[in-house]
Structure 1
Amino acid sequence: MHGTLDRPMPAAEPARSVDVGLPRFGYWHCFYGILKRELLRFLLQRGRFMSALVRPLVWLFIFAAGFRSVLGVSIIPPYETYVLYEVYVTPGLMAMIQLFGGLQSSLSMVYDREVGSMRILLTSPYPRWFLLTSKLFAGTAISVIQVYVYLAIAWWWEVEPPHIGYIMVLPALILSGLMLGSIGLFLSSLIKQLENFASVMNFVIFPMFFTSSALYPLWRVREASLTLYYVCNFNPFTYCVELIRFTLHAKFDVPTSWDQLVLMFTSMDKGNVFDPLSSDYPGFVAFLVVLLTTAVFLGLSILAYDPSRGLIGRRGGPEGA
């Protein structure tokens, strides 16, 4: 008995590490869930689909037909001959679909983070940058579907780009959709109430659309107002339109050497180096601007939704989070 009491106690085994990580393929299932939910919402809300097509179709069928005899479009890149006004305006209307789609997706983000599914997801173990990026890709996928439906309808209106353009424009649509969605996502971080965000949309969508090259060539804008011309050049939506325009018509050229890349910037108009028409590679310049704008606003959105440093955290986060 005494021997038992005097026997030294065995040393405690080191605590085994418990794997509290996310399940395998968990990121994929999370992304798939967000994408599926957005697609189901899009399919069930048929009014949303129709409203996204009504605006560009009104411009195509009514305004373009009326402006055809008034606004002739001269030979400008990427066009090799005179084109009808409805041909010129089509890339701008495609970008308009994505503009409204990106802002509407962000509008749903304001609702979801307060009382919807994102309220729960934002408190899940998944990083917020992944959740926000998944939300952006889901909204972009829906806008791309809407754009291709519009292109199918515009084909019956004698808007017939090269067949290869329907494929080349897809990466441009994805990138421009991400850019416009990132802008809307950043704006959604500044707004807490749904009613306020609806008014912000009117102060963002219409200025971005009308102060761009979506409806009129930049050289015509310059003839009318030099100030408006510079505003159009600093509008990121202009570069979305030009990127879609050049890829849709299969005229997207890129510099193939470092010397050509340097010459691309040095040969621009010294008064405005961001003019997409002043370069030998206007489509590539538009691509760079859209890519940079996407990175900036996506980074700002991720920072704003960071609960420890962002704007959401300063306001206390979603209710109940």
Structure 2
Amino acid sequence: MILTITLNPSVDISYKLDELALDTVNRVSDVSKTAGGKGLNVTRVIQQLGEDVAASGFLGGSLGDFIRAEIAGKGIQDDFVSIAGETRNCIAVIHDGQQTEILESGPEISADEAGEFLKHFTDVVQKVDLVTISGSLPKGLEPDFYGQLVETANQHGTRVLLDTKGELLSHTIAGEEKPFLIKPNEEELADLWGETVTGETAIMSALESQRFSDIPWVVVTTGAAGAYVKHDAVIYKVSAPKVDAVNPVGSGDAVIAGFAAGLSRGLTDTELIKFGLAMGVLNAMEARTGSINPENISWCVDQIHVETMGG
């Protein structure tokens, strides 16, 4: 069983318009509503890969009920903790070849709710093979909250795959207890580094630094070009096939899902890297965020090239 954590989930609403008219009424018939948040994108892909998966985080109000109903309908185990606040909406208006987003900040988590979640997590983490943690923290939680989850998981021998960015990522990996895997993209690596990280030489230098020495897996995605992956002291360069991208949003989440499923299956390093990165490519080929077509997995894995760079 894989456990996914989405502490600030949302109902993602997509409105598709030929054009957006300001300061007047816009009527829309092409509407989609789905359970959203980076961790729930991960959840869907893991489920599509045929792995047993449970989803956890905070849910509240009628929008929380909507998400519970959607994941239950997909056969995903519901391990969310109920809160007094209302789960947020995130709205995307797709118009004129552009995408305008309106993102609610979400509910504020009380100290009692945070404590309840930590107790729940301590119980659940002992029953799963590994944990993925994705996205931002909701209001009310301290910056060390992810660090607390990592520490608890490590105490019980459960590996953590962490996908966040900025100060939250920096704060978490600075702690004594480290996640098993992190997945910054080039921009997020630069934020972590405090300076521009562009090109192979700069990425290799960053990966070889002491900052990442105690993190077993560091996956730096570089968009359509592929990725650079460090496992312990070995660094790999990964190239991906060129595809017609329909919707690249959520591809990073799909990569996390691929690595989680691959680790659960005990794949070798090269097999794991190919499988994990393939999920990002397959997500980009689908219209729906956090979705893959399992029929294309073998083809895509075969098209990914892994080269050892150092170690």
Bigger relative contact order, structure 1 or 2 (CA pairs below 8 A, ≥6 apart): 1
Q: TM (normalized to structure 2)?
A: 0.25
The structure richer in helix per residue is 1
The structure richer in strand per residue is 2
Give 1 or 2 for the bigger CA radius of gyration. Answer: 1
